[in-house]
Structure 1
Amino acid sequence: MVVCGDDGLARRLAAELRDVYRQDVILMLPAEEANGPAAELHDTRSPADGSVRSVREMAAPAPHQEALLRAGVDRAAALALLYEDDETNLRAALAARRLNPGLRLVIRMYNRKLGHHLEELLDQAALITVPGMDRAALDASTTVLSDADTAAPALVATAIADTNKVVQADGLLLRAAERPAPNGGHEPDPGLCTLALLTSTTTDPVGSEGSEAGGTQAPDLLPDDRAVENSSGRGTVVLETVRRTGPGLPPRRLARRGAPLGEVFSARLRWSLAGIVAAVLVLATTTAALTDADPVHAAYLTLLDLFSINDPALDGSPTRQILQLLSGLVGLALLPLLVAGALEALGTFRTTGALRRPPRGLSGHIVLLGLGKIGARVLTRLRELDVPVVCVEQDPEARGIPLARDLGVPVVLGDVTEDGVLDAARIHRADALLALTSSDTTNLEATLAARNLKGDLRVALRLYDDDFATAVHRTLRSTHPRAITRSRSVTHLAAPAFAGAMMGRHILGAVSVERKVLLFAALLVAGHPQLEGRTVAEAFRPGAWRVLALDVADPAARRPDLASTPHTGDQPQLLWDLHPGHILHPDDRVVIAATRRGLAELLGRQPLDPGTTPTSRRPSNAG
């Protein structure tokens, strides 16, 4: 595998490929990055098979053709281009495709439209250059990803369900939730299925942390029903969907466009108008009672007097003259009220067309700090899940401001470190705070300020530096032991998705279970004798793989990448509640959970020889 980049994501991806997928990696970095002490990545030895998987660094100012050849791209299985500049990645991808037509490409691009066109172009180039390439290899030959898009689901899951062990399949967020050992006769909900039995028991309160510290027992991955029943009180990891447990949107949805009547006119203005209407009714009723006019004519005369368009009642009775004067006084009070209402409505509609303010009665929402590249993607996912959100952003020209305006999401413009900004976001009635600015110090300062306003607030803050994040987490946990605090790094969250794409687009994600890893993949049943013609129960091999879901979409209409978010209006096409007796047909596509060795056996791959280097392998079309 070859990884090229100019920021922390390249190092994270290289470590993910080495540690999780046991791949040899060549890491190409700019000279100033490769020579720094932070760029030192050491070899690791797998305790299972004793094989060495290494990351070797090389310095190159840019991913030009000569540098790609020195990295062995012409003989590599996959190449990741992770430069922050979309144009740099585009040029390098075109050069790499010429050097190795069968190369699997993973490209980082924020521009979705350009990335889609580039993906089609490179796939067509591979199809023309390699005439015998099958459909599965073509689908996985080029994958365009965005670190913002791939990190957003885990950030959303952290805010909603307090987890980052998330896999996305057909737009559905799934999490691997750790369940403690049951006490007494109460059996917890098994979720979609049981993925693993933990080393922790009812007598081991430290659980997986204790096993990481030097224990010899390992978790049991993909156990069968008998093993689960005889687990002797061990904790479990179950697969379940990510759902919001808090209140949903209020009846007046925050996301709709326009403004309700209650926000156009203030309560004081509405009460004043009600007083004017009551006075008119009283005057009309009095006129009808004290004169000979019928009620309709009395109301007509009252309105004429109110708007000062009636003739003076010089020849009328004293009662009529007094009522006319009173109607004129009410009309004088109505004039400034109409002017005030027009000005207030004009200002409200202008504000509504730009940015909405948080409603006064809002509660149970999530405060999203930062509407940059990451915050904009997270906002989109939160609104897809129908979660109430209030955004806080200092820069009125931030990338996510137009998105918030289109979605009708309330936004507070201001520096979060200043007094009153978090109060305006109704932080004291919020469920969680997502601090996602690019500044670690700003995120930390906002977290501390929010905790002063609400001590039990759930917080997830974006921190890049690992040592700094560890110190912050321990300090906040000690200061607020009852509050949930999670620190997340975008590069850490995005690296598994990029690594899965490098292994082939069929990889949906990976979830760590103590010291082991479970992979989630989408496979066609055809060509896999372990699955084809078997029932779901017969295809299950404990400790190796398990069929979780079936893609019920028409084969011609299937999306090649189940890990992507469906287009607007598309419905999930995965059936998770499979009957054990369902027979798997060759044209079926299934989602499985597998160990590394189990997936390698299903794909017909043999473990690499310890001495094999990445430049001695030919690209594989298994993905």
Structure 2
Amino acid sequence: MTDQGRGSPADGAGTVDETLGETVGEALGGAGAAEEAVAVPGQRGAAEDGGDDGGHYIVCGGNSLAHRLILELTEQYEVPVVAVVPDRSREHGPAIAALPGVRAVLEHSTVTGEALAAADVGHARGIALMDGTDQENIHAALAAENRNPGVRIVLRIFNQRLGEHLEKLLPNCAALSGSATAAPAFANGALGRPHTVEVGGRQLYVAHDGDIRPDQLCLVADRIDRRDLSRLRLLPETGGRAADFIRIAELMGGGERLGDTGRPDPASGREPGGLAALQVLDAEPPLRQPLRKRLKWWLLDGLKHFTNTRLRMILITAFAAIVLGGLVLARHSTHSGGFGWTVYFTLLDAAGAVQPDVPGQQALGDSWARAAQVLITFCGITFVPVATAIVVEALASGRRGVPRPPGARTRDHVIVVGLGNVGTRVAALVHATGLPVVCLERDPQARGIAAARALGIPVLIGEGPLEAQLKQARVKHARAVVAVTSDDAANLEAALEARAVRPEVRIVVRLFDDDFAHHVYATLGNVASRSLSYLAAPAFAAALMGREVLGTLSVFRHVLLIAELTVEEGSGLDGRNTGDLEGPGGVRVLAVRLNRRPQDHLWNFADRSRRLVPGDRIVIAATRAGLARVIQ
């Protein structure tokens, strides 16, 4: 259930066949370069023998994120791309090779110096490293920097702390984590709370239909129809800031409000009425369970962990007998010390410190009191040593490190299926809220297992039927199921199995294929679909273009980018106003930071006719095409 590994050629080395050499030569340098690439594969850049001046972008990787990033660069930014894939016949290699905007596809098992030379990194504007381990990507980034000191480098890295150090070492480098970018959307979908992006101390999120407030920042989508998400319009054209409010009043003010799950009456001529707006989150909804319930389930869970069924029956019986004996002592004892003294004598008797009645001395009480004392003493012989052994075992034998299976306290929890990079981060995010988490993983070597267990999260490992694993994970008591393996079919199977056991459980699935996701949305009412590559690729593409994306927000399968742009002298933003930017659609200006007041975010900047000057900064919500249009 972990993320799929990279493919590699049979000989373990990067190769460039004759046809590929001709393709690269035609695209980057002409026939002479192609002959050089064929004669010495991978040792000289395809454009080093004089073709054009380069200006292309290199994307290394054959996974879904690399595929989506190439689409972003070729379709939204319209820049030439050279792809370096580990295997043209595996994973997304065939799909990448078929993309019309790709100049050439080179096959190299790892991004070595030969691979960089073949892709002509010396004349490239930017390179994105989307595959491989953190160590391999850092090595490739340093090699690219040595060959082309001015090249823009974007690499995918799991260890974000390491990425921060690398960014300081290489000023033209951006180290991003695809799983860290996308994981909050999965986690918040499971928790039923909005996914937010922080801007200027405010948490921005997308609200739908009845959750839209009058103080929303802007309308981001209309015509939402879950049965046909291709009809959804994200950031349509606007004639001014008031147009968003007018649109909401027209669609929702007349009393007829259509949800996002149905279609309108054809006779009415109205469009589907689902709406989405961007607004500020006031406060996070409470998530943690009440303390009383957590204590009860914690005690039950601890008892089940340290004892088996037969031993629990013995302990419960002994404890009940001691309590019963204490009640008898309270009623028939000659001591008149009240409840506190009764508890005192009961505990001493249970610990074996009983003082028997002696003829001729003051008696404890009648025959009932003496019988209760005997019962308490003998039950204490059973109860106290066993309870002591449990405590000693827990503290001294190291059993605390043994992974716990889901217990009685595992209620209202979140089940994470798949402990790849995304699943590990989702589990950690949910665990940080204080809610219980249970993870399912088929690969016993998945590195996410150790990370989850270090947090005390139960992990169920095995190749058994998914239905049985979900039941063992107590799906009937679960709040949500998050299926984030790299296999769309496995994720859908987990969703359907969970629904079969508990139809009302919230489900979030990771799906790459858009058509597949649309069918899931149309068929399963309580399922939310997310795509790691769809959420993360726009941020990687913007970083490759030297722009800063603060975060991404999903509107069903569509992506809204929150970015902050600096107006530079002579750039496309210099001299334009907010009305010019918003008019064609695809962009909304949320806030302006004037060069004379850089610390202040002026939300919904009123002076729409003011021209932007160098040093101003604007915060925008944009589609992928809108952001590409603004930064060109």
Note the 1:539-618 alignment, pairs <5 A. Answer: 541-543=582-584, 545-549=587-591, 580=606, 589-594=617-622, 605=632
How far apart, CA to CA, are the structure 2 residues paired with 1:376 and 1:526?
A: 40
Q: 2-side partners of 1:142 and 1:239: how far apart? A: 31
The answer to whether the 8 Å contact 2:207/2:278 transfers is yes
Residue 541 of structure 2 is aligned to residue 484 of structure 1: no
The residue number in structure 2 matching 1:70 is 118
Residue 29 of structure 1: aligned partner: 85
Pick from 1, 13, 16: which aligns with 2:72?
Answer: 16
Name the counterpart of 2:32. Answer: none
Q: What's the CA shift for 1:152?
A: 1.1
Q: Where does residue 313 of structure 1 map in the other structure? A: 358
How is 1:48-59 mapped onto 2 (pairs within 5 angstroms)?
54-59=102-107
- 1:110 to partner: Cα distance: 2.1
Q: Which residue identity is paired with 1:38?
A: A
Correspondence 1:271-290 to 2 at 5 A: 272-273=318-319, 275-280=321-326, 282-283=328-329, 286-288=332-334
Q: Please tell me whether the aligned partners of residues 567 and 616 of structure 2 are also in contact (alpha carbons under 8 angstroms).
A: yes
Is the Cα–Cα contact under 8 Å of residues 369 and 436 in structure 1 kept in the other structure? yes
1:85-96 to 2 correspondences below 5 Å: 85-96=133-144
5 Å-filtered alignment, 1:94-493, equals 94-123=142-171, 141-160=172-191, 174-176=204-206, 179=209, 188-189=212-213, 192-196=216-220, 198=222, 200=223, 209-210=230-231, 220-221=236-237, 224-228=240-244, 231=247, 233=251, 236-240=275-279, 248-252=287-291, 260-261=298-299, 263-265=301-303, 269=315, 272-273=318-319, 275-280=321-326, 282-283=328-329, 286-288=332-334, 307=352, 310=355, 313-316=358-361, 322=367, 323-324=369-370, 326-345=372-391, 353-356=401-404, 358=406, 360=408, 363-384=411-432, 388-394=436-442, 398-412=446-460, 417=465, 420-463=468-511, 466=513, 470=515, 474=519, 481=523, 483-493=525-535
Q: CA deviation at 1:336?
A: 0.9
Amino acid at match of 2:385: V
Q: Which string of whole-angstrom CA distances, capped at 9 and with x for unpartnered residues, describes residues 92-136 of structure 1?
A: 21111112212110012223343333322223xxxxxxxxxxxxx
- Asked if the contact 2:530–2:557 (Cα under 8 Å) also holds between the matched residues in 1, the reply is no
Where does residue 41 of structure 1 map in the other structure?
98
Deviates more, 1:377-386 or 1:296-305: 296-305
Is the contact between residue 235 and residue 622 of structure 2 (CA under 8 Å) also seen in structure 1? no
Give deviations 1:358-400, integer Å, cap 9, x for gaps.
Answer: 4546554322122332211112233455655333345666433
Distance across 2 between alignment mates of 1:38 and 1:229: 42
- Residues 1:253 and 1:55: Cα distance change in structure 2 (over 3 Å): farther
**Secondary structure in structure 2 of the residue aligned to 1:114:** helix
Which of 230-239 and 15-24 deviates more? 230-239
The AA in structure 2 aligned to 1:145 is L
Q: Relative to 1, partners in 2 of residues 1:190 and 1:343: Cα closer, same or farther, differing over 3 Å? A: farther
List alignment gaps of at least 5 residues for structure 1. 44-52, 124-140, 180-185, 213-217, 559-572, 606-623
Q: 2:289·2:435 contact (CA, 8 Å) conserved in 1?
A: no
**Residue number in structure 2 paired with 1:565:** none
Higher relative contact order (CA 8 A, sep 6+): 1
How far is 1:250 from its partner?
0.4
Give CA-to-partner distance per residue, 1:323-354, whole Å, 9 cap, x none: 55642332011121123333455667766654
Deviation track 1:299-341 (CA, whole Å, cap 9, x = no partner) reads 8777766525646625447876945564233201112112333
Q: Which structure 2 segments of 5+ residues have no match?
A: 1-56, 252-270, 305-311
- The 8 Å contact of residues 300 and 408 in structure 2, kept in 1 or not, is answered as no
CA positional deviation for 1:419: 5.4
Distance 1:364 1:300 in 2: 40
Q: Percent identity?
A: 33
Cα shift at 1:511? 7.1
Indicate conservation of the 8 Å contact 1:254/1:408, yes or no: no
User: 2:539 corresponds to which residue?
Assistant: 497
The separation in 1 between residues aligned to 2:339 and 2:501, in whole angstroms, is 58
The structure-2 alpha-carbon separation of the partners of 1:118 and 1:275, relative to structure 1 and needing over 3 Å to count, comes to same
In structure 1, what is the Cα distance between the partners aligned to 2:431 and 2:578? 38
Q: Which amino acid aligns with 1:239?
A: L
SS in 2 for 1:400: helix
Q: How many residues align?
A: 536
CA-to-aligned-CA distance 1:219-260 (integer Å, 9 cap, x gap): 62455234335545465542246899986110249999x995
CA distance in 2, matches of 1:396, 1:515: 32
Cα contact 1:194–1:238 (8 A) shared by 2:
yes
Matched residue type, 2:448: G
8 Å contact from structure 2 (residues 237, 582) kept in 1: no
Q: How does 1:510-549 map to 2 (within 5 A)?
A: 519-524=561-566, 541-543=582-584, 545-549=587-591
Are the aligned partners of 2:300 and 2:409 in contact in 1 as well (CA < 8 Å)? no
Secondary structure of 2:98's match?
coil
Counterpart in 1 of 2:15? none
Amino acid across the alignment from 1:591? V
Task: Output the amino acid matched with 2:179.
Answer: A
Name the residue aligned to 1:609: none
Deviation by residue 1:437-460 (Cα, 9 ceiling, x = unmatched): 345554343333212112243323
Q: CA 1:346/1:374 → structure 2, altered by over 3 Å: closer, same or farther?
A: farther
Question: Are 1:24 and 1:55, in contact at CA under 8 Å, matched by a contact in 2?
Answer: yes
Deviation at 1:488, TM superposition (A): 4.2
1:80 to partner: Cα distance? 0.4
Structure 1 residues 394 and 354, CA gap change in structure 2 (3 angstroms) = farther
Partner deviation per Cα, 1:407-464 (whole Å, 9 max, x = no partner): 4445555556255432333322333211123455543433332121122433233345
Q: Give me the whole-angstrom Cα distance separating, in 1, the residues matched to 2:327 and 2:426.
A: 53
